[in-house]
Amino acid sequence: MKILGIDYGQKRIGLAMARQGMAFPFKTLDKSTRDKLFADLMSIIESEGVEAIVLGLPLDMNGDETLTTRQVLNFRDSLARRTELPIHLVNEALTSFDARQRLREAGVPERKHKEMLDQMAAVCILETYLENS
């Protein structure tokens, strides 16, 4: 089963793909317009044969919703109107921190972190989902 992991951000959307229980960085989409973002996502879903989507849900450290949480839920609702694939939500607490640490440990140069960070956060989100499902 191919699963698309999404780390939704204000400027960029990090994507990861899981195949056979392993998650890999896939791509980063820049948020230019809403229509282009969804067109790009739907194209990836179709061309990659995605069967499910895992979306990171940003909650605060107490597990409460924030403004960003509501934005992600709105994004999920918009995506759900465009696809019948199941969309699973995963608490993404500390995934950006974990992603930065993984990039450092892998020896990725600091100048490359910005372009890889969102994808690696999506990997962390997918791994959380895979471990708990």
Give the range of the structural domain holding residue 24, as residue numbers without chain letter: 3-132
Q: Which residue has the higher pLDDT, 57 or 120?
A: 57
Total domains in the chain come to: 1
Q: Within 10 Å of residue 112's Cβ, how many Cβ atoms?
A: 10
Mean pLDDT of 18-22: 92
Q: With 70 as the cut, is the pLDDT of residue 77 above it? A: yes
pTM strictly above 0.85: yes
> What are the DSSP calls for 27-90, one per residue?
EEEE-S-HHHHHHHHHHHHHHHT--EEEEEE-B-TTS-B-HHHHHHHHHHHHHHTT--S-EEEE
pLDDT at 47: 97
Largest CA distance in the chain: 40
How far apart CA 14 and CA 25 sit, in angstroms, is 8
Mean pLDDT within 14-40: 93
Q: Is pLDDT of 94 > 70?
A: no
Question: Do 90 and 56 touch, CB atoms closer than 8 A?
Answer: yes
**CATH classification of the domain holding 115:** 3.30.420.140
Q: What is the pLDDT of residue 22?
A: 94
Is the pLDDT at 108 greater than 80? The verdict is no
Q: What are the pLDDT digits (tens) for 29-76?
A: 988 899 999 999 999 999 999 999 999 999 887 878 888 899 999 999
Check: CB of residue 56 under 8 Å from CB of residue 95: yes
